[in-house]
């Protein structure tokens, strides 16, 4: 009996436990340090860096083009950016994550040589170095001197890192771009996945050089892209369509990161509603500023304060067609409703219901409607409203920018020639939807005066690339932020204060040589929506994140932070 | 065989008694305090082995030899009585022993008499737990034991409370280890409070070291009730209660809101949002056009019912025979919230069986099943719960049109619609725990136990978010807004399997009367496997069909994860006592955990403790007033292994990028090591040294227990801040050392005045933590851990009042955008500006200090009374932002505390000098409402936790239908609180900002015994 019971206890003990292992590894993913051992693993590690986290132009809310009704402003436009700023830290952190992954890849890639062709590895390396160069380019343009880390470092080494002169970093960056340009394919065809190209390397090199004022480098890189010919890159025939689904595979796009709702990469209703009109169940909160509206020329090629064609009572008439491609024109049907912020337009016609409906887009009815009076149209179409989701691809670089970089670099170099005018005119003509040669159908540029051309190319960049994340760096490198971002955001007067006879605008806005409008003369006929503030003594560079300076006191800070 | 001999002996004895002269003695034994009949009380005849025990009605009858003068009446937990025989039936009232002396304390893997305990162990009886009338056990522990700090943050249906033993031990998970009948469980609140026999809290390392790497944060041992021999009872409990908030924030009316909103807009550089005409005509507009102009009290609306009901049914069946003892209970609890579509239900079943197989072999077979369900209002995209919405939404938005349809609130944000039509967030948790223990006694004094306890958790979640379309009032077909883009459903299933096995050998021997020795050796394994599955679809074309098949084919997603962990341990314990005078205990545990790399996974945790019972010494024996006096001392180490499942490994995380292939977008997989890995991560180790004293005075009427401890945790796993430019997310590493020092004091008084019995107990404890070592301070948030300071100290600015004039602003250190009316801060680094980098300092500790509690219990003839209080004597809290910060989310409500108390350009200079709040501004919000001593106030409080009055009746007419007794009672929880908030702030010191209120509960119930 006793032995039986002892046996029973032993059996229970052994069957129920006594066999669980202690060498347990994650069940849902790899954990080994022996990665990079074959082509598949190399490709997986490159793929990771194609994610949106690592690709972005700047936030247009940092500029004088774009305003958020509820946020009123941000650390840049309020001038409150400090060393704890989340935006600066995110850019910094994500850029260095990508850089470290590239460095790790380059240090380990040869592990796969045994079973992978050297050519294949070279292409992956080219993609990786292009991505690294792009990250450094983003870092130096925003932070100036930053730590230059070229290979994997240990934790101990990382605490000794110091900032490297930006010029030295740029040398390294251009080497990476050149390596990438030399080893990446020009084009992907058929069933090949469209990865980074030679053109992408050259384009980012051109932009980096332009931002650094290295005009000849910018010129050459841009020209190399232009010389690839229209079979590789060309302007999309339709300006508006380029930013919609129809344009997502256009030959104009050099780098564009795909987004797709079915792949869960999209913005949902909260984002979309901020862009669409209140009549179409939106909030109309993320809106264009009056500044950008006034920046579009009239069809005679003159700014509104010079053109006889401009009428502040019919401000949409006789304007560069890109204005109404990008900003919703009053009294036109937009997403099923006529858009009309006029305080007496208490109802509007809806093509959706076929009746007149209460107009929620006027502040006479909805307290938070139509602050500047404008709504964005660029990149937005009916599908935003239907799905309350948007998954437009994120355009990082398109061919039009190459043309304007080329023009700007040449102008700054004093090399004004036909190719400069042609580059600018190609962009302008496409905006009007005509051929560059049809000079009577659009205001072609003919002047060869360097000062005038500089003004023109700067205005051209602003109106062409609005909402594409380029304006912020332009304001920074042209040193215009201290002017553009110290003027208040202005909007429509409140309905009660709106002088109906001055609808929508009380007069012609004076615009200075830098393209910056001045609304101070309009008194109560405009409403100050928010103040902007830009500290020119410090804000041209972002602060080195405080969290890292706490770790490494050897890391210096930019002035006045 | 032995039994047969015993029976034979008894038979012979009886024969002898029958032959000799005997007399019959009968009587009844009751509890002197409760007047309840006591069952199973031993009645023995002195100097014989003869005896009997009382039946379920407390009655006994025994034949005693003629010359017998006395009988001895003994019962566990009561003072022994030697009763003189009078010849008449005896009416015996047993007095419960002062619990400190005879009480048996549940300890790690065993029990010990309280008088022999050398460690620091707090106990709570099941009666005290049940007497607190809480839904969750965790809440019932509040204020019950010195050294345990229990903190609530919400009174939402079903929520529990956090339990901290002796302050903070680690920067990670500070929950103690919970064991139910020796089996580790994840949540103390899965046990029905009525099933609890007692709870032991192992506070110091010497008592917890036997749990090794899991004991660092303390151990809570719950013992469930079991049947006793001879019991046969059926008990039914019913309780009904209603809850109301202890405090609610208040907000300004609509006209004030509009005016102050304008003031804020102007302050922020804009112009007035609302014209005077608009404001002056507002109320008229609401009257004439109530479907476009609104004046809504959102908080009043969302608090749909002022009293939220809760109820409880419990049925307990107890049968005890010699061979089989069963205690079975079924419980059901439910609670509703202040608004619809939010409730909590719990079903609990527990069957505890004790089987006696043979003289040498017995078994325990316990099965427990628990099912909890919560239904919750769904959060529309990005928005929070109805409580939050009710406090944020200003009155200018409408909930309903006059015809009863939903208005669109703030452009589709309408919590009332959300409550009714927004869908629901359902959770359902099923847990089955089995426990089979075989106890084998091969020889006297030795018990071998083999125990296996599997526990399974099957959880389901279902989040169904319905789209709500809002329509115009005049054009009922015109949709004006929606709450969310699509109707979505996501479901989750998890399975959690834990298998615990133990083999224990326990040897207890008294050698030549004076030497009490007990030795325990054991082996334990714990294996856990967890798996989850999630699936979702978006874009349901129809609402009301919350199953995946009805969703869009296009927008589907799924996910699945898994992990496993294992722990293997050997442990031993030696307890030795000499003449009940000198006591010693030593523990040793050896643990191996799968969570660490092979070379770093072993750890040994030793502890020992000693005790000296002075009252056993001859020189103390004459001191009459001192009944008991014991000095204790202990030293030991325990560990913490709850630091993630594979922290030492270089995990590669999957990612997905999108690329074009031709014109279609395809997902491609990516992999990257995201976090830096530190391969030599190992245990956190806590070393505790403690001294204590247990004393009893005046025939044990007064008892005093005091403890002092000093503990230090080293190798605390902290996020090692590595420079972001190194390119990895921060890893965890053994970096920190935290110390805690503190004391515990418990006082008890128990006496009676005639039939009036009463007891009073009180406790006070403190634990002051101090960060001793920390390599990286981490991001400087609102609380920080800095060497030399308390753990989680408040970190912020020192305020110097409010800027009164532009001149003062100009001449002071400030933020770049500071203006008159903003808070002025002290310039700590003297650089004449204020910045978050250099000008913030430690402002004080954020953790509660000096927790106290106590209770009074009394009874008089069938009436019983109980009162429990609890409080925190020192705590630095932030003022509730929901009540001091205007315009949350930029458009939100304005707290009623502000008008007349904030700095304003409309004020006189004198008014501004006396201002309590900064100017109305959102642009300066980050500056003004940053953590600073401007907003810190004392969060100390005293709370009356519970008052219960009960009456027990035993009417004879009910006996015919088998009813033994009925107790009816009424109780109130959280009746009132004394706190330090200024009178214009109506807040509960425990509540969270914008959170579900802490509630007051009024309840009544009945207990019927058959």
- Contact residues on chain B for A70, CB-CB shorter than 8 A: 890-891
The pLDDT score that the predictor gives to residue B13 is 44
Alpha carbon distance B498, B455 (integer Å): 5
User: CA B1 from chain center: how many Å?
Assistant: 50
Interface probe for A, chosen from B505, B522, B556, B723 (most Cβ of A below 10 Å), is B723
For residue A258, give the nearest of B500, B660, B815 by CB distance: B660
- Window 34-73 of A: residues touching B by CB (8 A cutoff) are 35, 41, 44-51, 70-73
Nearest to A548 among B601, B723, B817 (CB): B723
C-alpha–C-alpha distance, residues A262 and A273, integer Å: 20
A484: three-class secondary structure by DSSP = helix
Query: Between residues 326 and 365 of chain A, which touch chain B (CB distance below 8 Å)?
Result: 350, 353, 355, 357-358, 360, 365
The 10s digit of each residue's pLDDT in A423-443 is 999 999 999 999 999 999 999
Q: Is B574:B197 a contact under the CB 8 Å cutoff? A: no
Tokens of A506: 């009380």
Residue A1 has pLDDT above 60, yes or no: no
**Chain A: residue nearest B592 by CA?**
A22
Between CA B284 and CA B467 the distance in angstroms is 34
Residue B718 phi/psi, 5-degree rounding, is -125, 160
Tokens matching residue B201: 């809290």
Is the Cβ of B70 closer than 8 Å to some Cβ of chain A?
no
**A269/B835 CB distance under 8 A:** no
Size of interface A-B (CB pairs under 8 A): 298
Q: Is the pLDDT of residue A297 over 90?
A: yes
Task: Say yes or no: A27 contacts chain B, CB-CB below 8 A.
Answer: yes
- Arithmetic mean of pLDDT over chain A: 93
* CA nearest neighbour of B134 among B260, B245, B243, B257: B243
A267, A295, A291: which is closest to A380 by C-alpha? A267
Partner-chain residue, chosen from B478, B481, B891, that has the shortest CB–CB distance to A353? B478
Whole-angstrom CA distances from B280 to A362, B255, B275, B284 are 21, 8, 9, 8
For residue A389, the chain B residue with the least C-alpha distance is B485
With a cut of 60, say whether residue A16 has pLDDT above it.
Answer: no
Indicate the residue of B662, B670, B922 with minimum beta-carbon distance to A45: B670
* Residues in Cβ contact with A537 at an 8 Å cutoff, skipping those fewer than 6 apart: A559, A560
Mean pLDDT for each 10-residue chunk of chain B (1010 residues)? Answer: 47 46 82 76 79 83 82 78 80 68 80 87 88 87 88 86 87 88 89 92 89 90 90 92 94 95 86 85 94 94 94 94 93 94 95 93 95 88 78 94 94 91 93 95 93 95 93 88 89 96 93 91 94 94 90 88 93 93 94 89 92 90 87 93 82 91 92 87 91 90 94 87 90 89 94 88 94 73 87 93 94 89 93 85 92 93 92 93 90 93 94 94 88 94 94 82 89 93 91 90 93
- How many other CB atoms are found less than 10 A from the CB of residue A468? 21
Nearest to A9 among B438, B485, B725 (CB): B438
What angle is formed at CA B13 by the lines to CA B11 and CA B16, rounded to 5 degrees? 110
Out of A22, A360, A530, name the one closest to residue B269 (CB). A530
Kindly report the nearest CA distance between residue A473 and chain B, in angstroms. Answer: 23
Report the distance separating Cα A191 and Cα B660, nearest Å: 9
**Chain A residue with Cα closest to B275:** A496
Burial (0-12, 13-18, 19+ Cβ within 10 Å), A521: exposed
**What residues of B are in contact with residue A357 (Cβ under 8 Å)?**
472, 475, 478
Say what the pLDDT of residue B8 is. Answer: 46
H-only helix segments in A268-417? 269-273, 290-295, 321-326, 382-387, 399-413
Mark yes or no for CB contact B503/A13 under 8 Å.
yes
Give the chain A residue nearest B272 (alpha carbons).
Answer: A494
Q: Does residue A175 have a pLDDT over 70?
A: yes
With an 8 Å Cβ cutoff, are A17 and B923 in contact?
Answer: no
**DSSP one-letter string for A300-339:** TS--TTT-TT--TTSTTTTB-HHHHHHBPPTTEEETTEEE
Q: Which of residues 669-698 of B touch A (CB under 8 A)?
A: 669-674, 676
Asked if B566 lies within 8 A of A30 by C-beta distance, the reply is no
Give the per-residue pLDDT at B717. Answer: 84
How far from chain centre, in Å, is Cα B628? 33
Question: Would you call B727 and A97 a contact, using CB atoms and an 8 Å cutoff?
Answer: yes
Helix (H, G, I), strand (E, B) or coil at A253: strand
Are residues B157 and B313 in contact, defined by beta-carbon separation less than 8 angstroms?
A: no
Give helix A399-413 / helix A198-211 axis angle, nearest 10°. 40
Strands B941-953 vs B863-874: parallel, antiparallel or unpaired: antiparallel
CA distance B489 to B472: 28
Contact indicator for B984, B944 with CB cutoff of 8 Å? no
Which candidate, A322, A330, A334, places its Cα nearest to that of A295?
A322
Neighbours of A553 (CB within 10 A): 8
User: Do the chains contact at A193 and B660, CB–CB below 8 Å?
Assistant: yes
Which residues numbered 510-549 in A keep a CB inside 8 Å of some CB on B?
527-531, 533, 535, 545-548
DSSP one-letter string for B573-591:
EEEEEETTTEEEEEEEEEE
3-state secondary structure of A550: helix
CA distance B182 to B200: 12
Tell me which residue of A82, A542, A86 sits closest to B836, measured CA to CA.
A82
- How far, in Å, CA of B773 to CA of B752, rounded? 53
CB spacing of B527 vs A355 below 8 angstroms: no
In 3D, which of B212, B7, B858, B440 has the Cα closest to residue A10? B440
Instruction: Using a CB–CB cutoff of 8 Å, tell me whether B471 touches chain A.
Output: no
Task: Measure B484 CA to nearest chain A CA, in Å.
Answer: 6
Q: Give the pLDDT confidence score for residue B384 in this predicted structure.
A: 63
**Cβ under 8 Å to A: B residues 121-160:** none
| pLDDT at residue B11 in the model | 45
According to DSSP, the residues that pair with B208 across neighbouring strands are none
Q: Is A100 near chain B, with CB under 8 Å?
A: yes
Contacts of A218 (CB under 8 A, 6+ apart): A206, A207, A209, A210, A405, A406, A408, A409
Q: Is A164 on the interface with B (CB under 8 A)?
A: no
Q: Give A197's contacts in chain B (Cβ within 8 Å).
A: none
**Chain B hits for A159, Cβ within 8 Å:** 723
Count CB atoms within 10 A of the CB of residue B96: 18
Residues B31, B34, B36, B40, Cα dihedral to 10°: -40
- Please give the biggest Cα pair distance in chain A: 114
In A, which residues are within 8 Å of B438 by CB distance?
A: 5, 8-9, 12
How close does chain A come to B942, measured CA to CA in Å?
39
Interchain contact, B564 vs A27, CB within 8 Å: yes
What's the distance, CA A286 to chain centroid?
Answer: 15
Q: Which residues of B touch A369 (CB under 8 A)?
A: none
Q: What is the pTM (predicted TM-score) of this model?
A: 0.81
**Record: contact B723-A22, CB cut-off 8 A:** no
Who's near B699: CB < 8 A, 6+ residues apart? Answer: B627
Element (H, E) at B351: strand B343-356
Whether chain B has a CB inside 8 Å of the CB on A321: the answer is no
Query: What is the pLDDT, as a whole number, of residue B679?
Result: 84
- The partner residue sitting opposite B594, judged by closest CB among A22, A27, A35, is A22
């Amino acid at each position: 009996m006793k032995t039986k019971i002892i046996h029973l206890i032993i059996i229970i003990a052994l069957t129920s436990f006594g066999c669980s292992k202690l060498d347990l590894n994650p069940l849902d993913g790899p954990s080994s340090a022996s990665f990079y051992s074959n082509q598949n693993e190399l490709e997986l590690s490159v793929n990771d860096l194609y994610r949106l986290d690592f690709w972005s132009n700047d936030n247009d809310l940092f500029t004088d083009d774009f305003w958020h009704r509820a946020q009123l402003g941000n650390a840049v436009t309020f001038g409150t950016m400090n060393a704890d700023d989340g935006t600066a830290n995110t850019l910094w952190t994500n850029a260095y994550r990508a850089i470290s992954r590239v460095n790790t890849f380059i240090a380990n890639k040869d592990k796969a040589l045994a079973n992978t062709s050297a050519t294949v590895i070279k292409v992956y390396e080219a993609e990786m170095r292009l991505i690294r160069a792009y990250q450094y380019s983003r870092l130096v343009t925003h932070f100036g001197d930053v730590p230059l880390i070229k290979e994997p470092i240990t934790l101990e080494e990382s605490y000794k890192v110091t900032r490297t002169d930006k010029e030295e970093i740029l040398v390294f960056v251009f080497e990476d771009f050149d390596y990438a340009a030399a080893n990446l394919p020009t084009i992907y065809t058929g069933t090949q996945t469209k990865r980074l190209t030679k053109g992408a390397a050259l384009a980012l090199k051109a932009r980096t050089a332009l931002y650094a004022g290295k005009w000849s480098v910018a010129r050459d890189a841009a020209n190399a892209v232009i010389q690839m010919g229209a079979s590789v890159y060309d302007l999309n025939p339709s300006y508006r369509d380029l930013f919609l689904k129809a344009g997502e595979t256009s030959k104009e796009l050099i780098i564009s990161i795909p987004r797709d709702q079915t792949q869960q990469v999209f913005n949902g209703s909260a984002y979309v509603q901020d862009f669409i009109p209140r009549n179409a169940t939106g909030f109309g909160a993320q809106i264009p500023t009056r500044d950008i509206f006034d920046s579009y020329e009239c069809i005679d090629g003159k700014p509104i304060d010079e053109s006889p064609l401009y009428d502040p009572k019919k401000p949409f008439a006789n304007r560069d067609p890109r204005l109404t491609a990008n900003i919703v024109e009053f009294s036109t049907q937009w997403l099923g409703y006529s858009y009309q912020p006029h305080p007496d337009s208490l109802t509007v016609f809806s093509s959706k219901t076929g009746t007149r409906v209460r107009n929620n887009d006027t502040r006479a009815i909805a307290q938070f409607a139509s602050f500047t009076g404008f709504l964005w149209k660029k990149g937005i179409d009916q599908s935003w409203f239907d799905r309350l989701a948007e998954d437009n691809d994120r355009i990082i670089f398109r061919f039009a920018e190459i043309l304007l970089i080329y023009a700007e670099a040449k102008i700054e170099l004093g090399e004004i020639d036909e190719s400069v005018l042609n580059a600018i005119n190609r962009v302008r003509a496409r905006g009007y939807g005509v051929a560059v040669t049809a000079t009577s159908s659009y205001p072609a540029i003919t002047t060869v005066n360097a000062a005038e051309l500089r003004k023109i190319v700067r205005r051209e960049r602003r109106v062409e690339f609005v909402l594409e994340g380029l304006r912020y760096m332009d304001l920074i490198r042209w040193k215009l932020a201290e002017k553009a971002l110290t003027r208040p955001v202005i909007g429509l007067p409140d309905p009660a204060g709106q002088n109906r006879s001055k609808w929508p605008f009380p007069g012609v806005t004076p615009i200075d040589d830098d393209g910056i409008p001045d609304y101070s003369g309009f008194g109560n006929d405009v409403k100050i929506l928010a103040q902007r503030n830009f500290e020119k003594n410090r804000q041209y560079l972002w602060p080195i994140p405080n969290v890292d300076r706490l770790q490494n006191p050897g890391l210096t800070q930019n002035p006045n932070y | 065989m032995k039994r047969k001999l015993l029976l034979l002996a008894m038979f012979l004895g009886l024969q002898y008694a029958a032959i000799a002269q005997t007399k019959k003695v009968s009587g009844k034994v009751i509890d002197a305090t409760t007047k309840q009949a006591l069952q199973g009380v031993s009645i023995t005849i002195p100097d014989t082995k003869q005896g009997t025990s009382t039946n379920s009605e407390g009655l006994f009858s025994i034949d005693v030899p003629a010359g017998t003068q006395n009988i001895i009446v003994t019962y566990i937990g009561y003072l022994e009585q030697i009763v003189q025989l009078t010849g008449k039936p005896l009416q015996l009232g047993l007095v419960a022993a002062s619990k400190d002396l005879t009480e048996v304390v549940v300890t790690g893997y065993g029990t010990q008499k309280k008088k022999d305990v050398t460690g620091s162990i707090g106990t709570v009886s099941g009666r005290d737990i049940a007497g607190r009338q809480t839904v969750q056990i965790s809440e019932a522990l509040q204020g019950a034991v010195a050294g345990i700090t229990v903190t609530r943050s919400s009174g939402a249906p079903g929520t529990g409370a956090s339990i901290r033993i002796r302050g903070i031990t680690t920067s990670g998970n500070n929950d103690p280890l919970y064991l139910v009948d020796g089996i580790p469980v994840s949540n103390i609140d899965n046990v029905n409070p009525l099933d609890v026999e007692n709870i032991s809290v192992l506070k110091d390392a010497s008592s917890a070291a036997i749990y090794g790497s899991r004991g660092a944060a303390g151990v809570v041992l719950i013992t469930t009730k079991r049947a006793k021999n001879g019991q046969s009872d059926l008990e039914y409990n019913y309780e009904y209660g209603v809850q109301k908030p202890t405090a609610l924030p208040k907000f300004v009316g609509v006209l004030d809101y509009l005016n102050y909103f304008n003031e804020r807009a102007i302050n922020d550089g804009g112009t007035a949002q609302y014209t005077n005409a608009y404001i002056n005509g507002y109320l008229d507009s609401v009257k004439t056009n109530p479907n476009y102009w609104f004046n809504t009290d959102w908080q009043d609306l969302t608090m749909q019912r002022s009293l939220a009901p809760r109820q409880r049914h419990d049925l307990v069946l107890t049968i005890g025979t010699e061979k089989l003892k069963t205690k079975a209970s079924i419980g059901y609890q439910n609670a509703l919230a202040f608004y619809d579509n939010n409730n909590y239900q719990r079903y609990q079943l527990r069957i505890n069986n004790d089987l006696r197989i043979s003289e040498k072999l017995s078994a325990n077979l316990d099965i427990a099943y628990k099912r909890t369900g919560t239904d919750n209002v769904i959060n529309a995209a990005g928005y929070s719960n109805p409580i939050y919405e009710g406090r944020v939404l200003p009155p200018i938005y409408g909930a309903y049109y006059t015809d009863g349809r939903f208005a669109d609130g703030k452009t589709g944000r309408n919590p009332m619609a959300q409550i009714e039509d927004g869908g629901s967030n359902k959770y359902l948790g099923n847990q089955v725990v089995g426990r089979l223990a075989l106890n084998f006694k091969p020889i006297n004094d030795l018990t071998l136990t083999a125990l296996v306890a599997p526990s399974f958790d099957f959880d389901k979640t279902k989040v169904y978010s319905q789209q709500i379309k809002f329509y115009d009032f005049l054009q009922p077909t015109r949709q004006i807004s929606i709450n969310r883009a699509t109707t979505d459903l996501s479901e989750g299933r998890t399975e959690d399997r834990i298998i615990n096995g133990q083999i224990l050998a326990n040897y207890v021997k008294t050698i030549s009367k004076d030497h009490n020795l007990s030795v325990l050796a054991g082996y334990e394994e714990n294996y856990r496997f967890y798996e989850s599955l999630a699936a979702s679809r978006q874009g349901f074309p129809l609402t009301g069909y919350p199953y995946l098949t009805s969703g869009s084919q296009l927008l589907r997603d799924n996910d699945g994860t898994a992990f496993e962990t294992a722990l293997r341990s050997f442990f031993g314990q030696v307890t030795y006592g000499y003449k009940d005078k000198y006591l010693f205990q030593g523990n040793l545990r050896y643990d191996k955990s799968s969570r660490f790399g092979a070379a770093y996974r072993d750890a040994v945790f030793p502890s020992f403790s000693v005790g000296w019972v002075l009252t056993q010494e001859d020189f103390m024996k004459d001191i009459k007033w001192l009944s008991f006096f014991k000095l204790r001392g202990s030293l030991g180490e325990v560990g913490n292994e709850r630091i993630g499942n594979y922290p030492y490994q270089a995990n590669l995380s999957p990612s997905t990028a999108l690329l074009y292939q031709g014109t279609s977008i395809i997902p491609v997989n990516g992999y990257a090591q995201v976090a830096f890995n530190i391969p030599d991560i190992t245990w956190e180790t806590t070393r505790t040294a403690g001294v204590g004293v247990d004393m009893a005075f005046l025939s044990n009427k007064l008892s005093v227990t005091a403890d002092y401890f000093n503990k230090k945790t080293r190798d605390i796993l902290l996020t090692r801040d590595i420079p972001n430019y190194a390119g990895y997310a921060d890893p965890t590493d053994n970096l920190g050392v935290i110390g805690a020092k503190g004391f515990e004091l418990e006082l008890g008084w128990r006496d009676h005045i005639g039939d009036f019995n009463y007891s009073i107990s009180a406790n006070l404890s403190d634990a002051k933590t101090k960060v001793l070592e920390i390599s990286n301070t981490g991001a400087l948030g609102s609380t920080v851990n800095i060497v030399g300071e308390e753990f989680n100290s408040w970190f912020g600015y020192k305020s110097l009042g409010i800027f009164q004039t532009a001149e003062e602003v100009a001449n002071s250190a400030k933020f770049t955008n500071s203006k008159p009316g903003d808070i002025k801060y002290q310039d700590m680094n003297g650089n004449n500006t204020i910045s978050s980098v250099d000008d913030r300092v430690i402002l004080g500790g954020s953790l509660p200090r000096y927790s106290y509690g106590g209770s009074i219990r009394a009874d008089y003839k069938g009436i019983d009374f109980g009162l429990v209080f609890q409080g925190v004597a020192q705590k630095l809290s932030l003022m509730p932002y929901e009540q001091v910060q205007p315009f949350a989310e930029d458009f939100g409500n304005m707290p009623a505390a502000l008008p007349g108390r904030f700095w304003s350009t409309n004020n006189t200079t004198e008014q501004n000098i006396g201002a309590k709040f900064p100017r109305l501004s959102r642009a300066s919000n980050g500056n003004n409402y940053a953590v600073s001593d401007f907003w810190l106030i004392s969060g100390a409080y005293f709370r009356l936790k519970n008052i219960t009055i009960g009456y027990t009746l035993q009417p004879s007419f009910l006996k015919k239908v088998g009813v033994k007794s009925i107790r009816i009672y009424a109780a109130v929880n959280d009746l009132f609180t004394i706190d330090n908030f200024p009178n214009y702030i109506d807040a509960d010191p425990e509540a969270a900002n914008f959170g579900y209120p802490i509630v007051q509960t009024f309840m009544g119930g009945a207990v019927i015994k058959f």
